[in-house]
Structures are given as C-alpha cells and as structure tokens.
C-alpha cells in the first residue's frame, strides 16, 4: 500500500502526526518482507524501536502491523545482534 492509499484508508479524521508514522512503519515492514534487503533488517528493528519510543502510548495502533512481521525479522537477523539491540534500545 502506497502513501496515498494509506492516507485515503485512514480517513478524513487522520492527523499528520498519525499519517507519518503509519507511512514509515509500512515502508519498514516492506523492507522486512523483501528478502533481497535482509542486510537492512537490523536497521529496521532500530528504526521501529525509535518510532515506538517517540510515539509512546500512541504506538499501540501500530503493534499488530509490526508484530506480524517480527517472526520474519527474528529468523533472518542474527540472534546475537537482536539481543544486543534489544538490551541497548528499550522500547
């Protein structure tokens, strides 16, 4: 789903504060699903963690979108990198 489709699907009540994280997370999840971009998965995890930290409680609507892709990330990312990342970047 592209940014324009995402904006239409979010409706007229959508603010830019909701739109930009949605587009960013959707784009990051596309990177995760693309096997040719597996070298970027660690950076995707870092970016998602940063977005969730910045949004705080407002990140709750995005959890299902991210969680459905995290098993794929875990199988493709080095477990040691992920463990060290999760310890250094609490969400």
Note the pTM of the prediction, 2 decimals: 0.68
38-66 pLDDT, tens digit each: 888 888 888 998 999 999 999 998 888 88
For 6-40, how does the pLDDT look when each residue is reduced to its tens digit (9 = 90+)?
545 555 556 777 888 888 999 999 998 888 988 88
CA separation for the pair 79, 84 (Å, rounded): 9
């Amino acid at each position: 789903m592209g940014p324009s489709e995402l904006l239409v699907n979010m409706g007229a009540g959508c603010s830019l504060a909701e739109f930009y994280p949605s587009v960013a997370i959707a784009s990051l999840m596309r990177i995760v699903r693309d096997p040719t971009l597996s070298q970027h998965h660690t950076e995707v995890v870092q970016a998602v963690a940063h977005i969730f930290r910045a949004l705080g409680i407002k990140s709750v609507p995005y959890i299902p979108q991210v969680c459905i892709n995290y098993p794929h990330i875990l199988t493709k990312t080095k477990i040691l990198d992920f463990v060290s990342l999760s310890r250094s970047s609490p969400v």
